[in-house]
Amino acid sequence: MKTRWYKDAVVYQIYPRSFCDSNGDGIGDLRGIISKLDYIKDLGVNAVWLSPIYKSPNDDNGYDISNYREIMEEFGTMADFEEMLEGMHARGIKLIMDLVANHTSDEHEWFVKSRSSKDDPFRDYYIWRKGRGKDGKRPPNNWTSRFGGSAWQFDEATGEWYLHLFSKKQPDLNWENPAVRREIADICNFWMEKGVDGFRCDVITYISKEEGLPNGKFNPIMCGDEHFVLGPRYHEFIRELNKNSWAKFDSYTVGESTGVTFENAPECIAEERGELDTIFGFEHMCTDMYMEVIPHKFKLPRFTAVLSKWQSLPESCWNTLFLENHDQPRSLGRFTGDFGDKRYEAATMLAVAMQMQKGTPFVYQGQEIGMVNCKFRDEDYLDVMARQVFSIAAKIPFGKAIARYCLARRARDHARTPMQWNAGANAGFTAGKPWMMLNPSYKTINVEADKKAGEKSIYAFYARLHAFRRGNEVIKCGSYRQLDKKNKSVYAYTRSHEGKTLLVLANFKNKTSKFKLPPELSSGRAVLSNYPDSALSAEVSLRPYEAAVFEINA
């Protein structure tokens, strides 16, 4: 049944709210996506991951779902959805939906009923507890929300607290309840029967909480993890869901797996486990952030050491490759330093460095034209996480300045400014007033300008890279070996398969870097490069952000 098509796929992620608005209300929508299907196809990707499009009050832009079987009104109708899906399939593009199953919206009817009375049949769909202290006015334990503050909210109606590991409008579902697990399987089946090809499973590693919900080790930012990341029944729950839904289809699943380590990843994704097909590991994204929020200096060897480690997963596991998504700042600048006028070179260098590794690459909307972070004033931040950070910071000395410093580098808002289609009004994103400010860079960075850039089109480079990857057995299956692991400027590795070797050189610096090669790797021809005349020798001089793939002479 399973063809494992994802092993030869590149996935494009769409954050629908910010992609393309078709009706001038300032909000991206499904018809906007339909109008861009050829743009997506011509990029040479063969799957789309769509961030949530279900009915939602949008406390967390759709990651708070109030009805899993309906389309958010602002995004369109079920008929639009079906047309979009058909349009994708007709172009050879699969569709992966976002499955947000750790929590729902507090406006979901399950929660409305659940909070109404302690005896309601839906009470046990969520995690309710009495408070601590004589009057029960202290939260049941010390766990923190991933957005800051306590993970518990007191509810007047019944005088108890409910757990929310994200915003208080995102109550956690109680997976201990078999009825909840059946509901989630039914939801997956509902969409797969419509023809959807798989799921990206939102914070899926949080679904099983330790019995008794014990206090976490002291940690002011993220407290309690050890009691719910890959909790006691996690594997059992996922195997059950796989059996009752995903395994019945030729599906692909990728789990957002905060907290999964290289050591325990195989328990989550090895083929024989019958759980998830792949995960997003975040270790490489943490090499320039402490606790995922506090920025620190990017150092190439620290970054490539993590990438190389994950390349050595056991044969029965499959990797994902990514530098961006809707929760991360833009990769340009972050991993390249100040690129000055070398935006094309820096963007394409990152593409080569990531995509020549073994695994399934993910490209986030705008990455294919080299979109960059935005300069925000305090009031420009709209994300629930940024707002929460500011409100907590306001209570501590210098808090605001620290929050500003961290958010300028870390905010999720950077990835969410509208897609930049052209240099015209509102970057061609909308005919109305955009729901979120545009990055002023759209005057120069936009799809139209990029396409006109000819040899220096980032989009065209991505398209070439994707065409080059497709069906290439060395890239798909070849063994991976990093060269000169301590190199501070150049990321170099080989991929080898059945007597063929590809050498990848990527200069992460905005200056020339020299790189010495052993004799067996010093002759061959460039098969892909972001400079027109990359060449191999015993000591290669790589120009600013030069990245090239060489086929080594046997």
For Ca ion (CB under 5 A), the number of binding residues is 5
DSSP-derived secondary structure letter, 51: P
Q: Return the residues of window 96-115 that contact ligand GLC according to CB under 6 A.
A: 100
Position 202 contacts ligand GLC (CB under 6 A): yes
Position 551 contacts Ca ion (CB under 5 A): no
Residue 324 to residues 306, 321, 452, Cα–Cα distance (Å): 16, 10, 25
CA 222/CA 203 separation, integer angstroms: 14
Phi, psi of 497 (to 5 degrees): -155, 125
Residue in 494, 490, 466 with CA at minimum distance from that of residue 479: 494
Question: Considering only 19-27, 85-93, 300-308, 491-499, which stretch makes contact with Ca ion by CB under 5 A?
Answer: 19-27
Is 202 a catalytic site residue?
Answer: yes
Question: In this complex, which beta carbon is closest to ligand GLC, that of residue 327 or of residue 546?
Answer: 327
DSSP-derived secondary structure letter, 238: H
Among 12, 15, 49, 63, binds ligand GLC (CB under 6 A): 63
Position 60 contacts ligand GLC (CB under 6 A): yes
256 interacts with, out of Ca ion, ligand GLC, none, CB within 5 to 8 A per kind: ligand GLC
Q: In the complex, what is the shortest distance from the CB of residue 29 to Ca ion, in angstroms, rounded to a whole number?
A: 4
163: left (phi over 0), alpha (psi -120 to 50) or beta: beta
DSSP-derived secondary structure letter, 443: G
CA 369/CA 73 separation, integer angstroms: 29
Q: In the complex, what is the shortest distance from the CB of residue 18 to ligand GLC, in angstroms, rounded to a whole number?
A: 13
Element (H, E) at 116: helix 109-116
Question: Considering only 29-37, 134-142, 357-365, 514-522, which stretch makes contact with Ca ion by CB under 5 A?
Answer: 29-37
Position 172 contacts ligand GLC (CB under 6 A): no
Position 21 contacts Ca ion (CB under 5 A): yes
Contact 543, 535 (CB under 8 A): no
Q: In the complex, what is the shortest distance from the CB of residue 275 to Ca ion, in angstroms, rounded to a whole number?
A: 37
Q: In the complex, what is the shortest distance from the CB of residue 11 to ligand GLC, in angstroms, rounded to a whole number?
A: 15
Q: Return the residues of window 210-269 that contact ligand GLC according to CB under 6 A.
A: 256
Is 341 a catalytic site residue?
Answer: no
CA 345/CA 504 separation, integer angstroms: 15
Catalytic choice (74, 256, 327, 345): 256
DSSP-derived secondary structure letter, 548: E
Q: In the complex, what is the shortest distance from the CB of residue 102 to ligand GLC, in angstroms, rounded to a whole number?
A: 7
Residues 6+ apart with CB under 8 A from 228: 143, 165, 206, 208, 209, 210
Contact 303, 335 (CB under 8 A): yes
The residue ranges that bind ligand GLC (CB under 6 A) are: 60, 63, 100, 166, 202-203, 256, 326-327
Catalytic center residues = 202, 256
The residue ranges that bind Ca ion (CB under 5 A) are: 21, 23, 25, 27, 29
